[in-house]
Structures are given as structure tokens and as C-alpha cells.
Amino acid sequence: MYRNQNCNHYKFVMKSQVEVVKRLAQFGVKPSLQRIAIMGYVMDNLVHPTVDTVFNGLSPAIPTLSKTTVYNTLKLLARQGAVLELNIDEKNVRYDANIFRHAHFRCKQCGSVHDVPVESVEVLTKKSAGDLQITESQLYYKGYCGKCKAAVAAEPSEPQAAKAGA
């Protein structure tokens, strides 16, 4: 029997839409079409995209999408805990759909951000923090990625001030 396929206007959501809607519902976010698209994009592109990356990635498929909507939606998703907001990049906030505990590494040369699996991101326990109530923690490493390591070693781009040894 011929199976009539539903016309899918939201083909750019590569992740199954069910999975995206489930994530939104899990964190109490009402699933509008734009929110589904934005959440789907972040879930599909685990490169820690910025607002610009998400906007540029989605705007060809959704011409009505504004950068402000992307910005506000990502802020909302982060506030609700559906995505992680990373401040590892001093110029751009980055977003991560991988909400399981992991650390991040940022290449000082090309700016790419990589996931780093760690045993425990939270070194402080609730007990050791005393009076301080920890609501989030982020662990960042910086250095050079595999691609940039060799280039940097061969030709240092800027003279680094020599640190006085202890």
C-alpha cells in the first residue's frame, strides 16, 4: 500500500522532532515551531554554537527568524536548563545541548570548543561549599587543538611574556 508521507516543513530539524519536543517538555519550555527549530539545531550541532551560528544555520530555512528571537530563545533554554550556556569564549556566549557533566577545552588559535570528559566537574561538594549555594559549575581548559598545535609550535604568533618562575 502506498504510504503518504507527511509534508515536513521543518526538514532542517535533523534530530527527530519527537526528541526535541521531549527535551523542551522535560524542561518546561512550550514548544513553538521556532523553539523546536532552535533546540533542534543546538542538539544537531554539538560544536557549541553561538547565537550567530544558530541564526546563520537556520535563517535560510526560516526567513522570518530574527537574531533577537534566537538570542532570547537560547537564553530561555539555558535558564530552563535545556541547554548549557558557556562563557568560555570571551567574545561570544556558546550553547551546548550536551547537558551531562563534562568540561570544555577552547583552542586559543582557532577558537574551536571541544568537550572534555572528566571524572567529576564538581570538585566542591555541597558540604565543602559551606554557606555558598552552588547552582552551576563550569570547568574550562584552554590551549591548542590538534589542528593548531603544530602550526603554533612552528611559528609562535605573538611573543608571550615570560612568566617569572617561582
* Nearer CB in complex with Zn ion: 52/126: 52
Least distance from Zn ion to the Cβ atom of residue 132, Å: 25
* Nearer CB in complex with Zn ion: 76/148: 148
Contact between residue 94 and residue 48 where contact means Cβ atoms under 8 Å apart: yes
* Nearer CB in complex with Zn ion: 68/157: 157
C-alpha pair distances (Å), 105 with each of 21, 27, 87, 150, 161 = 29, 27, 12, 17, 23
Place of cell 535558564: 79
Q: Which residues bind Zn ion (CB under 5 A)?
A: 96, 98, 107, 109-110, 115, 145, 148
Least distance from Zn ion to the Cβ atom of residue 94, Å: 8
Least distance from Zn ion to the Cβ atom of residue 131, Å: 30
Least distance from Zn ion to the Cβ atom of residue 8, Å: 29
* Nearer CB in complex with Zn ion: 89/115: 115
* Nearer CB in complex with Zn ion: 110/129: 110
Closest CA to 43 of 86, 14, 79, 66: 14
Least distance from Zn ion to the Cβ atom of residue 154, Å: 14
